[in-house]
Copies of this chain bind each other. A is one copy, B any other.
């Protein structure tokens, strides 16, 4: 079984991106699961193109895209990607789309293909703060998550895909005021757990991880 794991280039005011650092530290294998990694440009359009390119090169069974969610305290497995780009800041090419569909003919949203609740339970058991999140935002992270699922569905790929948002690194939070952070080791560990759980099972567990609002 093969997994493709992607991170992002740094963007906005940040000089580093923990998703990039974490992905580059993943091992080549986790048990029977071979791991390929890519770092995507934080650019609308080009990010999906790079992901597409990786998909047809690697032919993975599992795809986990990883991105930074600055300000969150927990590893956040995303439940859903929505069909809209609404950029609060320009991307790394200076583009700032507002309320633009990602796929003109695509559905309003795609749900994750990964067993997010089982993965969250496994991360917590390993001592990592983790949640199921109901929004991946409207910037390049959501864009890539939606793009991934749209490619999988429209091309009938035998791929289970999902998205993990990770906190700031401590070194990033050290320059901010009061922002929570997570050590790189733990971000890497969280990614590995998600991959192991995704490799081990296709169905999810039925635990209440929803949000009131």
Q: Which A positions have Cβ atoms within 8 angstroms of B?
A: 12, 67-74, 79-80, 82-89, 96, 98-99, 107-111, 117, 123-124, 127-131, 134-139, 141, 165, 169-171, 173-183, 185-186, 204, 206-213
Contacts and interface: CB of A to CB of B under 8 A. Distances in A.
Contact of A183 (B173, B180, B185): B185
Given A181-B129, A213-B165, A173 B108 contact: no
Give this chain's copy count.
Answer: 4
Given A73-B179, A186-B170, A139 B98 contact: no
Given A128-B170, A129-B170, A173-B129, A210 B137 contact: yes
Given A107-B107, A108-B110, A134-B135, A212 B73 contact: no
A186 B185 CA distance: 11
Contacts of A173: 73-74, 129
Contacts of A135: 134-135, 211, 213
